[in-house]
């Protein structure tokens, strides 16, 4: 006895499916088996028919459970099971953000011989779920640890070719993605925060080329851009000045969504990146954009560039250069206005007319107390070090004395007396007390209050959060690529992973690590039966169902595939 499906083709070309309960019986006269219809359920596309079948199946299973059926048929076997919910959610967000349609449109009619969009999604999802090299992504993750739709046929060279496609179309992808996501998520783009970081490589030699003007030839595929030699020695923000590095710039919104990124040679100074950043963002024709950067971006040329064409900016100002910020702004009379327990602010205007400069002098009492206690501890340690030196006996340049004077921890507070001995520089101590808990912000947007200037600048920590995520959670380094276009593509893949994570975190109001742990409880099982292989998804646990609901994603279908 079995469920039979009969098809009837109508005159208008449509086909009707009818479901019937049938059985095979032996016809002694014809000496062969014939089919006898026992009951007709009706049309297969009728919801009432589907519900009727479901009730019949439930009544049968009361007498014989699925476990008994599987046990009776020795051909069923569980082959393996993997976490599935995290990749499923990432793919749903990938589709929602329009990345699939953008990549397929840019690919156009080109015949790659493989699915470029699938290859790029595989690398982005790998970076978010189990970051590793592209070789690990291909040999271990895609083959053993996960099942991604239409990704089983990918090879290692497909991943590298997909990276080349991403690098060649990076500017268009970022622009199209920005306008789609800004409308989809109603992103607040009035404030754009920009900062840079350094990313070092475990190699000894720099790339050939002079730096920003020199390019690496012979390693760029035909039709691709020629980039400056990227791996150069420069000022390392992570202290690894002994090896070559690159400089990565990132612009994000106040909610932490990455908007655009840049890759510069390792010997690039932060202040020289502003001109290119301003020109690239100007091409997007943003209606109103307030650029926020830290003190490393401040220079006379940068202020002129940012204000050109009516541009608005907020910049943290260096306080120890001995200029008007040090001499006038920090000494400005008047009381601070309290905004919060950890923030007080005072407006300072220097100059008159169109050339006036507007500053926000900010003070954090809690930070001031922390810095004061830290300095007291440091001076106590320094005094003990100086006392242990004893008499110099005419030798004014012992190894210990030189070490103290050049120490990054104590050196600023040490000076040499007329007799050649070392002592604490109290004038320097009093000078440093002026800066405790303070920071200065300059802006040229008069529509912002002094409170808005202070709070807007403090949100620059969004970029710092992105750097921490990209370096620790997404493992942006180590970078195993040496060709400039592959280095650029690797950074682009990491930024796309960061965007998917930020969308998930914004929806769930939790970290991606916690979201991913909950979603991984949705498992994908591979079952073998005499009729073929079945890929079945487990029901979401309560925590996983909660995450899917927060993300606005439907639960995965119970049967993913049948082979």
What is the SS3 string spanning 122-182?
A: HHHHHHHHCCCCHHHHHHHHHHHHCCCCCCCCCCHHHHHHHHHHHHHCHHHHHHHHHHHHH
Is 25 found in the same domain as 79?
no
The mean per-residue pLDDT over the stretch 276-301 comes to: 80
**What pLDDT is attached to residue 285?**
65
Is position 241 within any domain?
Answer: no
- pLDDT class of 504 with cuts at 50, 70, 90: very high
- Please state, rounded to an integer, the average pLDDT across all residues of the chain: 85
> How far apart (Å, rounded) are the C-alpha atoms in residues 81 and 98?
30
Is 411 found in the same domain as 378?
yes
**What pLDDT is attached to residue 276?**
87
Annotate 510-536 with DSSP letters as a single string. S-HHHHHHHHTTSEEEEEEETTEEEEE
Which DSSP helix (H) or strand (E) runs through 285? Answer: none
Residue 15 has pLDDT above 90, yes or no: no
Ranges of beta strands (E only) in 311-460 are 312-317, 337-340, 343-350, 357-363, 414-416, 422-424, 438-443
Domain closes at, from 433, 468, 491: 433
- pLDDT class of 312 with cuts at 50, 70, 90: confident
| C-alpha 358: how far from chain center | 34
From residue 284, give the alpha-carbon distance in Å to each of 175, 184, 193, 512.
7, 17, 16, 30
Residues 6+ apart with CB under 8 A from 464: 195
The mean per-residue pLDDT over the stretch 3-26 comes to: 79
Is 77 found in the same domain as 59?
no
The mean per-residue pLDDT over the stretch 418-435 comes to: 89
Is position 13 within any domain?
Answer: yes
Is 415 found in the same domain as 373?
yes
Domain containing residue 530:
73-83+520-563
The mean per-residue pLDDT over the stretch 272-282 comes to: 84
From residue 173, give the alpha-carbon distance in Å to each of 169, 341, 494.
6, 43, 14
> How far apart (Å, rounded) are the C-alpha atoms in residues 170 and 173?
5
Percent with pLDDT over 90 in the chain: 40
The tally of domains found in the chain comes to 3
Is 35 found in the same domain as 12?
yes
**What pLDDT is attached to residue 432?**
92
Is residue 142 exposed (0-12), middle (13-18) or buried (19+ Cβ within 10 Å)?
Answer: buried
The mean per-residue pLDDT over the stretch 415-438 comes to: 89
- pLDDT class of 211 with cuts at 50, 70, 90: very low
From residue 465, give the alpha-carbon distance in Å to each of 197, 225, 238, 274.
12, 31, 16, 21
Q: Are 463 and 255 in contact (CB under 8 A)?
A: no
**What pLDDT is attached to residue 34?**
82
Residues 6+ apart with CB under 8 A from 562: 532, 533, 534, 535
Is position 541 within any domain?
Answer: yes
């Amino acid at each position: 006895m079995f469920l039979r499906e009969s098809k009837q083709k109508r005159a208008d070309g449509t086909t009707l499916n009818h479901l019937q309960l049938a059985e095979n019986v032996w016809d002694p006269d014809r000496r062969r088996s014939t089919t006898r219809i026992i009951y007709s359920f009706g049309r297969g596309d009728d919801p009432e028919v589907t519900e009727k079948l479901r009730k019949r199946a439930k009544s049968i299973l009361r007498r014989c459970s699925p476990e008994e059926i599987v046990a009776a048929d020795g051909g069923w076997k569980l082959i393996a099971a993997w976490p599935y919910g995290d990749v499923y959610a990432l793919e749903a967000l990938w589709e929602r953000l329009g990345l699939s349609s953008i990549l397929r449109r840019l690919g156009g009619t080109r015949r790659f011989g493989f699915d470029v969009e699938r290859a790029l999604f595989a690398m982005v999802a790998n970076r978010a779920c189990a970051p590793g090299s592209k070789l690990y992504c291909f040999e271990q993750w895609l083959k053993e640890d996960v099942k991604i739709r239409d990704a089983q046929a990918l090879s290692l060279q497909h991943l590298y070719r997909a990276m080349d496609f991403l690098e060649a179309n990076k500017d268009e992808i970022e622009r199209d993605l920005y306008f789609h996501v800004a409308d989809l998520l109603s992103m607040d783009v009035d404030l754009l925060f920009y900062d840079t970081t350094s990313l070092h490589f475990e190699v000894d030699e720099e790339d050939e080329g002079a730096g920003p003007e020199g390019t690496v030839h012979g390693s760029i595929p035909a039709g691709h851009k020629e980039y400056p030699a990227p791996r150069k020695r420069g000022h390392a923000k992570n202290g690894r000045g002994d090896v070559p590095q690159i400089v990565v710039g990132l612009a994000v919104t106040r909610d932490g969504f990455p908007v655009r990124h840049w890759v510069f040679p390792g010997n690039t100074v932060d202040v020289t990146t502003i001109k290119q950043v301003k020109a690239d963002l100007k091409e997007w024709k943003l209606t109103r954009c307030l650029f926020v950067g830290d003190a490393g971006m401040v220079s006379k040329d940068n202020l002129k560039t940012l204000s050109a064409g009516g541009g608005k900016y907020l910049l943290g100002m260096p306080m120890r250069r001995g200029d008007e910020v040090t001499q006038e702004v920090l000494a400005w009379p008047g009381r601070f206005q309290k905004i919060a327990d950890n923030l007080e602010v005072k407006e300072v205007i220097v100059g008159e007319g169109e050339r006036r400069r507007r500053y926000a002098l900010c003070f954090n009492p809690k930070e001031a107390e922390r810095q004061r206690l830290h300095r007291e501890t440091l001076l106590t340690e320094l005094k003990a070090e100086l006392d242990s030196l004893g008499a110099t006996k005419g030798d004014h340049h012992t190894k210990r004395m030189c070490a103290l004077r050049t120490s990054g921890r104590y050196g600023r507070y040490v000076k040499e007396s007329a007799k050649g001995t070392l002592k604490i520089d109290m004038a320097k101590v009093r000078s440093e007390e002026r800066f405790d808990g303070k920071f200065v912000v300059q802006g040229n947007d008069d529509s912002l209050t002094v409170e808005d200037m202070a709070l807007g600048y403090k949100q620059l920590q969004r970029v710092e959060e992105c750097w921490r995520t990209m370096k620790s959670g997404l493992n942006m380094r180590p970078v195993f690529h040496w060709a400039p276009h592959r280095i650029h593509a690797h950074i682009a893949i990491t930024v796309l992973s960061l965007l998917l994570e930020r969308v998930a975190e914004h929806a769930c109001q939790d970290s991606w690590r916690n979201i991913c742990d909950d979603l991984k409880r949705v498992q994908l099982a591979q079952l073998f039966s005499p009729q073929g292989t079945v890929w079945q998804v487990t029901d979401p646990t309560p925590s996983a169902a909660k995450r899917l609901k927060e993300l606005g994603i439907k639960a995965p279908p119970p049967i993913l595939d049948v082979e």
